[in-house]
Amino acid sequence: MRVARLVKLDPEQRTVLEQYARARSMPARTVERARIVLRAAEGLQDQQIANQLRITPEKAARWRNRFLEGGLDALRKDAPRPGGPRTITDERIKQVVEKTTQEKPNNATHWSTRTMAAAVGLSEASIRRIWHFHGLKPHLVRTFKLSHDPQFAEKLEAIVGLYLNPPEHAIVLCADEKSQIQALDRTQPGLPLKKGRCGTMTHDYKREWNSDPVCGPQYSRWHGDFYVR
């Protein structure tokens, strides 16, 4: 008959295991493991421990060996278990990443988990995990502005100065575009979405001198603001 490995406890280990074995607030699995080790320290074999605690001999042997290899810490936590087999191949993941960073959906400004899942035939949860792992956030867009005007700094100081220190008895007004009017062409190309960085676009648009359908022919769009001709 196969003889199980001998378990020897020092006074501190025995005290802790006895506390575990009597505890009512600890998880039942931890209490059971402590009782297995205490009986193993008394010289009982795995089959005898299994009969007393109404468990399988394999379970008694498993926790005897884990205690011998990892001590008290091994009884407090389960051993890591491998996850299920992968159902999404590297090729499918690559397809999602390339589609996210290089394409845009029809009738939308960016991909959502739902539209991407429908486009590639995966679940929303899978798309969310792939985006999170690769640091992709299609819903975020950061604007930027680059000026080639040699007098840009002086003009900026003049405009900002009006807000910070306006003339006495003066009112500073700022006009912005109407939200329902879309000027889609940007003055400069933006950077595409990539891992750890959202897509970028300039804050201003290309000049469009056509008559505005809402404000009338006297208005035209230029760099995102409205000006009277």
pLDDT in tens, 80-125: 666 677 788 989 999 999 999 889 888 888 899 999 999 999 999 9
For residues 119 and 114, give the distance between their C-alpha atoms in angstroms, rounded to a whole number: 9
What is the pLDDT at residue 229? 32
Contacts 24+ apart (CB under 8 A), 49-57: none
Residue 50: how many other CB atoms lie within 10 Å: 19
Task: For residue 50, give the amino acid letter.
Answer: A
Distance between CA atoms of 223 and 208, rounded to whole angstroms?
9
- The pLDDT assigned to 86 comes to 79
- How large is the average pLDDT for residues 3-18? 90
Q: Does domain 11-76 have CATH number 1.10.3470?
A: no
Q: How far is CA 140 from the centre of its chain?
A: 14
Question: To the nearest whole number, what is the mean pLDDT of the chain?
Answer: 80
Distance CA 170, CA 159 (A): 14
CA distance 6 to 45: 9
